[in-house]
Chains A and B, each alone.
Chain A
Amino acid sequence: MENLERILTEHPFLKGLDKKHIELIVGCASNVIFKAGDFIFREGESADSFYFIRHGRVLIETYVPQKGPIMIRSREEGEILGWSWLVPPYRWHFDARAVELTRAIALDGKCLREKCREDHDLGYEIMKRFAKIIAERLEATRLQLMDIYGNGTHK
Chain B
Amino acid sequence: MAHTNNIAERIIESNPMIVQQFRISRKIKETHDTFSIELELPDSMDGFSFNPGQFNMLYVYGVGEVPISISGNPSKNKILTHTIRVVGTVTKAINNLKVGDYLGVRGPYGAGWPVKQAIGKDVVVVTGGIGLAPLRPVISYLLTNREKYGKVALLYGARTPEDILYIKSLEKWRGRFDIETLVTVDRAVGDWRGNVGVVTTLIGKSTFDPLHCIAMVCGPEIMMRFTIMEFIKKEIEEKNIYVSMERNMKCGVGLCGHCQIGSTFVCKDGPVYCFEDIKDLFQRREM
Contacts and interface: CB of A to CB of B under 8 A. Distances in A.
B163 A148 contact: no
Interface of A: 57, 59-60, 67-74, 76, 78, 99-100, 139-140, 143-144, 146-150, 153-155
B226 A155 contact: no
Contacts of A155: 85, 128-131, 218-220, 246
B196 A59 contact: yes
Contacts of B140: none
B197 A99 contact: no
Given A71-B187, A71-B196, A144-B198, A153 B220 contact: yes
24 contacts: A59-B193, A67-B189, A70-B187, A70-B189, A72-B196, A74-B194, A74-B195, A140-B197, A140-B200, A143-B222, A144-B197, A147-B159, A147-B186, A148-B219, A148-B220, A149-B128, A149-B129, A149-B159, A149-B186, A154-B85, A154-B246, A155-B85, A155-B129, A155-B130
Contacts, number: 78
Interface residues of B, number: 32
Contacts of A60: 196
Contacts of A68: 189
B130 A76 contact: no
Contact of B159 (A71, A78, A143, A150): A150
A70 B197 CA distance: 12
Contacts of A73: 196-197
Interface in B197-211: 197-198, 200-201, 205
B115 interface: no
Contacts of B130: 154-155
B197 A149 contact: no
Interface in B150-204: 157-159, 163, 184, 186-189, 192-198, 200-201
A76 B85 CA distance: 32
Contact of A148 (B85, B189, B192, B223): B223
A139 B198 CA distance: 10
Interface in B92-119: none
B87 interface: yes
Given A73-B196, A154-B87, A149 B188 contact: no
Given A149-B163, A149-B220, A74 B186 contact: no
Contacts of B186: 144, 147, 149
B189 A74 contact: no
A59 B161 CA distance: 14
A111 to B, nearest CB: 28
A59 B191 CA distance: 11
A99 B193 contact: yes
The 6 A-B pairs at the shortest CB distance, nearest first, are namely A149-B129, A149-B159, A74-B196, A71-B188, A99-B193, A148-B220
